Amino acid sequence: MKSNTRDRILEVFKKSFETNNLHKVKLSGYESPEEDLKAVIIKPVLIKDTKVLQYVHSYATRDVTKNKELKDGLDHLEEMLSSFNNFSMVTTEHVYQWNSKTSRLFKSANSQAVKTNQDHDKQKKYMLDQQSPYLKELGITNASGNIIGSKSHKFKQINKYIEIMDSVLSSADLSDPVRIHDAGSGKGYLTFALYDYLKNTKDRKVEVTGIELRKELVEKCNALAETCKYTSLKFIEGGIADQEAIEAEVLLALHACDTATDDAIALGIKSNASVIVCSPCCHKQIRKQLSKGTQGSISPLLKYGIIKERQAEIITDVIRSLLLEAHGYKTKVMEFISSEHTPKNLLIVAVKSKSLQDSTNKLQEVQNIKKEFGIEYHYLEKALKTI
């Protein structure tokens, strides 16, 4: 590589990094035959709020990752430029390409640049307050309140959830303060977000309780609630099914594992909750029973593993929805967030209805489905003790 090309690359690389415009650098076509080095990818990353350069050296069977500050990173890039045959660098506005055959540095407009700007504009419409302290403590934003690149999907997911919850809770008849229980609260992303949104953005009186099996998560979340001065947010340790004394007005369960979703729905129904919202996770309980139903006309529906798995998910969630309706809820099933972000994207939203529902009919529909697919029982039936 000619020295003026090399200097130009280093100059653009440095400037793009400093102005937050550097996306990615790729070097390939390593010249040394002794090493099985396939490519090196360089990206800016945030490590504990400090921006550094991440170098991933990809060998035939392993990757080696090293983080470097700008000065060392520039030295390392300069060294590598003399031993690779192909170089490309993507910045917000441009794409730079060089290879040893043409030996010229080509610069073209980055066709993704418009999209990047659009994404940036969209951020203004997000419902979450990016400056809220819990987002920083949970590692979603940095000290300046900017979303950390690798967490942008999580941030969008939380926003979408808040958008849905805002609309569901606005249309329900709830007390003041509204009492919300989040069953299987985990690290508390959604619990904190909902609390902060209702309390600090909507100025609503709320009491939010996370229920979680794992002691260390409960301790962390309670400590974080204290740091953020979220006085009516607390987390309790325990199993969802063991919560006899709880009176949930709004019962949430997001990605609670397998039958923990049923325990949460049962807790909501037993508490006569006005709103029950759940996003099911894995669906093992019904899947196991489907194996017995591989006779007769429906057997082709269960022939292929992946299709069978999806059937199990559909049957599990349809029965959940029917049982909710049998207990007086108007139920909707919707997509929580695009499947591009997570396959666990179904949301069951149930709001207690003031008008009487035809429960016999709904229970009969459950029995019909079970008979058709050779299902002995759905865990939610047991949790509700309706059988």
Q: Which residues bind ligand SAM (CB under 6 A)?
A: 184-186, 189-190, 211-214, 217, 239-240, 254-257, 260, 263, 281
Question: Do 226 and 194 form a contact (C-beta atoms < 8 A)?
Answer: no
Give one DSSP letter per residue of 271-336, joined into a string. TT-SEEEEE----HHHHHHHGGG-SGGGGGGGSSHHHHHHHHHHHHHHHHHHHHHHTTEEEEEEES
In sign, the C-alpha dihedral spanning 37, 42, 45, 48 is: positive
Residue whose CB is less far from ligand SAM, 267 or 363: 267
Which residue type sits at 26?
Answer: K
Minimum Å distance from CB 151 to ligand SAM? 13
88 φ, ψ (degrees, to nearest 5): -140, 145
Q: Could you identify the residue written with the tokens 């990094």?
A: 17
Residue 328 CB, nearest distance to ligand SAM (Å)? 24
Minimum distance between the CB of residue 375 and ligand SAM, rounded to whole angstroms?
Answer: 22
Residue closer to ligand SAM (CB basis): 127 or 369: 127
What backbone phi and psi angles, to 5 degrees, belong to 66? -135, 140
Nearer to ligand SAM, 75 or 335 (CB): 335
* 189 vs 195 by CB, closer to ligand SAM: 189
Instruction: Report, in Å, the least distance between residue 186 CB and ligand SAM.
Output: 2
CB of 344 to ligand SAM, least distance (A): 8
Residue nearest to ligand SAM as judged by C-beta position = 186
Select 107 or 153, whichever has its Cβ closest to ligand SAM: 153
- Which C-beta is closer to ligand SAM: that of 77 or that of 138? 138
List, in sequence order, every residue forming a beta bridge with 68; answer none if it has no partner: 53
Per DSSP, the three-state class of 387 is coil
Minimum CB separation of residue 108 from ligand SAM in Å reads 41
> How far lies 196's CA from each of 127, 129, 205, in Å?
11, 9, 11
The interaxial angle of helices 3-18 and 70-81, nearest 10 deg, is 150
Cβ proximity to ligand SAM: between 6 and 344 the closer is 344
Quote the least distance from Cβ 138 to ligand SAM, whole Å. 10
